[in-house]
Amino acid sequence: MNRRRFVAGAPLAAAAATTLAAPAIAQSAPELRWRCASSFPKSLDTIYGAGEIVAKRVAALTDGKFQIRMFAAGEIVPAFGTVDAVQQGTIECSHTASYYFVGKDPTFAFDGTVPFGMNFRQLNAWLNAGGGAEVMREFFESYNIVSLQAGNTGAQMGGWFRKEIRTVDDLKGLKMRIGGFAGNVIQKLGSVPQQIAGGDIYASLERGTIDAAEWIGPYDDEKLGFNRVAPYYYYPGWWEGGLNLSVHVNKAKYDELPPLYKEALLSACRDATIETIAKYDAQNPQALRRLLAAGTQLRAFPREVMQACYRATFELYDETAATNPRFKKVYDHFKAFRDTQLQWFRVAENSYDSFVYLMQAQEQQQAAQPRR
């Protein structure tokens, strides 16, 4: 036998075997049609689009056998009604932010984001390599839900305000649309949190029903037109260092999936996470420039305000953990991982970033100086 011909032909034989095997797998696989209710408006190609990425990838990976049809917030389920719908089996799955459901149990927030929590890289590490997915899985089982990571916004902005925030006293009586556990924090400082779906924020801010609103960041905020009804744009969003988005799946429906379909769904969710954070990072800088050129007044939260919010946040964590065993179990795990991440990021990531930012600022300052 010609050894060279045999070795050279091996890849072709393997490819042929794969080609022959693929139709057999496809023929044996069942056809599934799922409905997925989003908590987001269809006008936002980023956050709503993350759910679309999942649906398209699942169909592509299963040769169209497993189809997931996306529905925007309110089309078949209200934006904040998705957990109930998935839990009860009214729909098979949803694409949402878990922290919307802190009213049911504040533990939901850890699957999304919490004030002064972790950034995208750190939260991603906790969920995928730090045991976070396991502790959250136990919590979600009590709701008959499997939660899969499916997108991230990165660090968010602090929102749009009708008036400037100079001191902690300026927070008192402030009616603000704000998501998740952060609503409890600002309430502790005298504000009045409002839970309003993304598509309804503009009207509330325009009518003066609320005094301030946070959503995500420049790209989405510009699309929703918040700059037309509030002049001051604050940063940072201390309550959202990196909002994790999730696909919630009815557990019984998930358990029924063939292994191939489970892997397709998991792979699609991973793709959505990578692509969504990339879109936000690519599009936010240009959007911020456009907003500033149009007259938006960019403001940093005063240090006094940030410190007061930080203290109130961790007081509230301790108070909640003292009365909610499920919250305490997840919080203890989350905080221990967060603390080690912060120590490491201070050494490597932050020192690198801080130096590069400083040098760039100096170069820009020198370039702006008139030549002699």
177 is an annotated ligand-binding site residue: yes
275 is an annotated ligand-binding site residue: no
Sheet containing 192-194: give its strands across.
192-194, 175-177, 212-213, 159-161, 232-235, 297-300
- Work out the angle at residue 306's Cα, subtended by the Cα atoms of residues 300 and 307, and round it to the nearest 5 degrees: 145
35 is an annotated ligand-binding site residue: no
For residues 151 and 50, the answer to whether their CB atoms sit within 8 Å is yes
Looking only at the bridges linking them, the beta strands covering 212-213 and 145-152 are unpaired
Side chain identity, residue 102: V
- Output DSSP code: residue 243: P
d(CA 280, CA 261) in angstroms, rounded, equals 29
Residue 98: count other Cβ atoms within 10 Å of its Cβ. 27
137 is an annotated ligand-binding site residue: no
Provide, for the chain, the percentages of residues in helix, strand and coil under a 3-state DSSP scheme, each rounded to the nearest 5.
60, 15, 30
For residues 267 and 57, the answer to whether their CB atoms sit within 8 Å is yes
Angle between helices 325-347 and 303-323 (to 10 degrees): 140
Burial class (CB in 10 A: 0-12, 13-18, 19+), 170: middle
75 is an annotated ligand-binding site residue: no
> Cis peptide before 30, with omega less than 30 degrees from 0?
no
For residues 154 and 218, the answer to whether their CB atoms sit within 8 Å is no
Tell me the binding residues.
156, 177, 214-215, 240
Tell me the binding residues for substrate.
156, 177, 214, 240
Tell me the binding residues for Na(+).
215
